[in-house]
Structure 1
Amino acid sequence: MRGKKSLNIITLSLLILWGCGNSDSSEERGAASDLGDVESETVEESQGKTKEVEVDELEQSLIAAGLVDVERVIEDVFVDLKYSTTDNFFGIDVYGDLERCYLQPEVAEMLRKSHEHLQSTHPELTFLIYDGVRPLSVQQILWDNLNKPDSIKPLYVADPKVGGLHNYAVAVDLTLADKNSGLPLDLGTEYDYFGYPAYPDREDQMLREGKITKEHVANREILRDAMAKGGFTGIGSEWWHFNAFSRKVAAQKFQLIK
């Protein structure tokens, strides 16, 4: 969540709209000109106020590629981009100032439907999103920093020469969270845990061995059910990962995000 780390994407100005009517926009242009080469996007707030939020180069490229900010489609989800922190499998921050999750518009709409279903069955819960689009430039950094033989690297991260569904902006990593606090539910392992306790395909075995509990599986089933209602499918090795399309369909419909 943005509140968990220092805000690199900061408010540049608050433009008070009281009584502005049809006034000239030169003041807004002047404020934007102070940004130099950094663009900004306007975000509407309550009580007639508007804020301009800094958009860095990476985020500009995602917007230019036609992707959408998930929080503009679904109002009450939480976002904590793990690759914009060091709290991930690689232990490195590869997103820099990016703190908003971007997806293909069609995929964001699918996620909205999943969220609506979750609200109908468990109104006290919402989604906490860990990752969405992952540009190929970032994929290359992860590939280069993975201390594994190239032959087994694809078990952990997609080869940037081929690209994966995150690179098409049609995959999302997420969990369930309390709607009021934003705290994640316990689904048995941390995000980016690579081991059998995180495998949906191994849940029966992990239950027998006491590595996960029935409560963990029940929470995972709530997540899987909601995501399925939006048209997503999971994978056998990560309870948090969901795909909107197959690789073949994604390649037919979209371009890889570079």
Structure 2
Amino acid sequence: MRIGLLSFTFLLFFACKEDKTNTDKNTHFESSISQDSIVRDSTLNHDKKVPKKTFRTFEGLADTTFVRLADFSDGFAYDMRYATDNNFLEEKVYECGECYTRVKTAKALLTANADFKGKGVKIKFFDCYRPNSIQYKMWEIVPNSQYVANPEKGSIHNKGGAVDITLVDMDGKELDMGTDFDFFGKRAYHDNFDLPQNILDNRKLLKETMEKHGFWSIRTEWWHYNLSAASNDKVANFKWACE
């Protein structure tokens, strides 16, 4: 009886050991499969192609239609100052910053920017179309036609034909134009040539390229450009939705 009990215990010990060995092997096998699956999945995710962003076209749009420039290209930079208090008004007057223009202005900006990109730079916007109601708000803050167009008459900004811009390199660094945007003084004048040569060269690049694509400048503001073809458009009060 005692011998039989010892024999049974001995057999049970080896059976348990064998079962544990098989369990360890199975666990290792399952772990290997799991890790291999993760690697393969990771590789698939890494190689997966991200769909290229598509942009709107101007097909079927009238030249006077207002459009959001970012819907047609991602090749511009933006610093919409009037949607912040970092401007000469020292007050935020837009609910949100967007760059809208009429279609004909957008077309001219796209061709100008393609030209700039060929020279290693691109356009950065400070302001674009400005609803006339915003012009009234600006006039309430600074009722001086030397700095703000009288809203009764309106500005070409209110027609969707003017932009305030500078140039940045392809890494987003602004070219030195001698002053900040909305600096009201002789240092910002186009006909002030008493400036370092690199500043004069940067302003010349901006001015000559914009003029080549149908824009004209004003003497006292190196950043301001009007599209000639938009001069006779009506003052508008179209407002974009803020998301």
Normalising by structure 1, we get a TM-score of: 0.65
The aligned counterpart of 1:159 is 150
Instruction: Give the AA of the match of 1:250.
Output: S
Report the equivalent of 1:111. Answer: 109
Letter in 2 for 1:94: V
Structure 1 equivalent of residue 215 of structure 2: 232
Larger CA Rg, structure 1 vs 2: 2
CA contact (8 A) 1:113 1:229 kept: no
Instruction: Identify the residue that residue 241 of structure 1 maps to in structure 2.
Output: 224
* Structure 1, unaligned runs of 5 or more: 1-45, 51-64
- The correspondence of residues 204-243 of structure 1 with structure 2, limited to 5 A, is 204=193, 207=194, 212-243=195-226
Query: What letter corresponds to residue 231 of structure 2 in structure 1?
Result: A
The residue aligned with 1:77 is 76
Q: Give the Cα separation in 2 of the matches to 1:73 and 1:92.
A: 30
Question: 1-side partners of 2:176 and 2:182: how far apart?
Answer: 14
SS at match of 2:228: coil
**How far off its partner does 1:154 sit?**
1.0
What is the SS of the residue equivalent to 1:218? Answer: helix
For 1:74 and 1:223, the matched residues in 2 are separated by 20
Q: Once the two structures are superposed, what CA deviation does each residue of 1:5-63 show, in whole Å capped at 9, x if it has no partner?
A: xxxxxxxxxxxxxxxxxxxxxxxxxxxxxxxxxxxxxxxxx83599xxxxxxxxxxxxx
Partner amino acid, structure 2, of 1:216: I
Q: Is the 8 A contact 1:82 1:131 kept in 2?
A: yes
Q: In structure 1, the residue corresponding to 2:125 is in which secondary structure?
A: strand
1:73–1:109 contact (8 Å) kept in structure 2: no
Which residue in the other structure is 1:60 paired with? none
Does the Cα contact within 8 Å between 2:82 and 2:97 map onto a contact in 1? no
Runs of 4+ off more than 3 Å: none
Aligned-pair CA distance for 1:184: 1.1
Number of equivalences? 180
User: Any conservation in 2 of the 1:117–1:229 contact (CA below 8 Å)?
Assistant: no
Are the counterparts in 1 of residues 131 and 237 from structure 2 also a CA contact under 8 Å? yes
Aligned to 1:47: 50
The question of whether the paired residues in 2 share the 8 Å contact of 1:126 and 1:176 is answered with: yes
Compute the displacement of 1:140 (Å). 0.6
TM-score, normalised on structure 2?
Answer: 0.69
Choose which of 125, 144, 148 in structure 1 pairs with 2:121.
125
For 1:79 and 1:187, locate their aligned partners in 2 and report how far apart those are by CA, in whole Å. Answer: 17
- Give secondary structure in 1 for the equivalent of 2:222: coil
The code of the aligned residue for 1:118 comes to F
Deviation at 1:66, TM superposition (A): 3.3
Structure 2 residue corresponding to 1:199, chosen from 181, 184, 189: 189
Which residue is 1:257 aligned to?
A: 237
For residue 91 of structure 1, report the CA deviation from its aligned partner. Answer: 0.5
Among 162, 168, 182, the alignment partner of 1:177 is 168
- Given candidates 179, 182, 200, the residue that maps to 1:189 is 179
Q: Percent identity?
A: 31
Q: Which residue of 2 aligns with 1:145?
A: 141
Q: Which residue identity lines up with residue 239 of structure 1 in the other structure?
A: W
State the distance in 1 between where 2:208 and 2:116 align: 8
Cα displacement string for residues 171-223 of structure 1 (whole angstroms, at most 9, x for unaligned residues): 0000000112x12111000000000000112x12xx1xxxx311111000111
SS in structure 1 of the partner of residue 212 of structure 2: helix
Gap regions ≥5 residues in structure 2: 1-48, 54-63, 239-243
Q: Secondary structure at the match of 1:193?
A: coil
Q: 3-state SS of the aligned residue for 1:240?
A: strand
